[in-house]
Amino acid sequence: MAASVRVGRIAGIEVGLHWSLAIVFALIVWTLAGQVLPALVPDQPQSAYWLVSSIAALLFYVSLLSHEMGHAVVAMRLGVKVDGITLWIFGGVARLHGDAPTPGAEVKIAIAGPVVSLVLAILFAAVTFALDTTSGPPLIEGGSAWLAASNAMLLVFNLIPAFPLDGGRLLRAWLWQRSGDRYRATSSAARLGRICSFLLMGLGLLALFVQGALSGLWLIFLGWFLMSAARSEESQVLMRGALAGLRVGDVMSRDPTMAPGWITVDEFMHSVLPGQRSNAYPLKTFDGGLDGLVTSNRLAQVPQEDRPIRRVRDVGIAIEDVAKASPGEPIIAVLDRFSQSDDGQLLVIDGEGKLVGMLSPADITRALRGAAVRPSS
């Protein structure tokens, strides 16, 4: 989930907001100011309802961020890299770079968020009780009561054993501990997660068509999101499992053809491209040094009239901007570099600075197919 607005860093963790957050913020404020607070505390100025509702909505998102920070901080302490946190329409996402190393670490990371939500629910409940016993401002008390209930609901919802919710991750840790197999545990937890998502969508359809409640739409969308997230995370974990133990040198396409970068695009397309099956070509300088990378797509985008005068190196990517890997690196350690590569290609360079291969998504797919047909020991 990519952030639309980057807020900054908290405890060294990048925090961002997705544009969809504005939709839910407006809905929360509108619901609180128009329905919830007037029912709890009647006969107050409308402007006061809107002000307290806006503050409560902001504090709710602070609560969401705190929940995700709980996951992220514990993950970092356990040696798991955190790419960042994004708040969006369905709450928050702490993007962890890789999996927990052990079932125990998985439990600690997964339970950290619910513990934060529990603490916040107790805190807001205590504030509500204190305001009630001291006859404090009734609207502030109403807003605090809503925040206590919201954090309690966030706690309960996240403990549903539906992967990838926190409860589903706790379930995976338990299955992992019992079987000793992280990947089988992930498949089982994801399967239950999909069942829960269908139940949510079914409840949403009942609420929408039987009771006429628009809240059913929210349950339908939430169920759909959980189903998609479970499938996506399951495929990522299983893919990493299938590639475990493989190194870049085992998978790369070896000894790629180096093309001259000083010739024109027209000459390149007539003298180099014919008979070649590759879509990407490392470029060399006149004295044989590595100069960059060019792809068939980049060449095809050059206007016909410019091809006789444009050099290939001017169309390609400069060597300093090309994503690279070394042959001894684990495959799973370089997967994220494909997203940093404009053309989905990694140049594989050995310790002496020599080009020894190229790595593409097609090479990864071929390795996955090989893992799928490889007999288990």
**In the CATH hierarchy, which fold is given to the domain comprising 248-373?**
CBS-domain (3.10.580)
Q: Is the pTM of this model over 0.85?
A: no
Positions marked catalytic: 68
Contact 317, 346 (CB under 8 A): no
What is the DSSP secondary structure assignment for residue 11, as one 8-state letter?
Answer: T
User: What are the residue ranges spanned by the domains of the chain?
Assistant: 5-243, 248-373
pLDDT tens sequence for the chain (377 residues): 555 677 788 888 888 888 888 888 888 899 899 888 999 899 889 999 999 999 999 999 999 999 999 999 999 999 888 888 888 776 778 888 777 889 999 999 999 999 999 999 999 999 999 999 998 899 999 999 999 999 999 999 999 888 888 999 999 999 999 998 888 888 888 888 888 888 988 988 888 787 766 667 778 888 888 888 888 777 777 777 777 778 888 888 887 878 888 888 888 888 777 766 677 888 888 877 788 888 878 888 888 888 898 888 888 888 878 788 888 888 877 777 776 665 678 888 887 778 888 888 888 888 877 665 444 44
CA nearest 146: which of 121, 165, 164, 168?
121
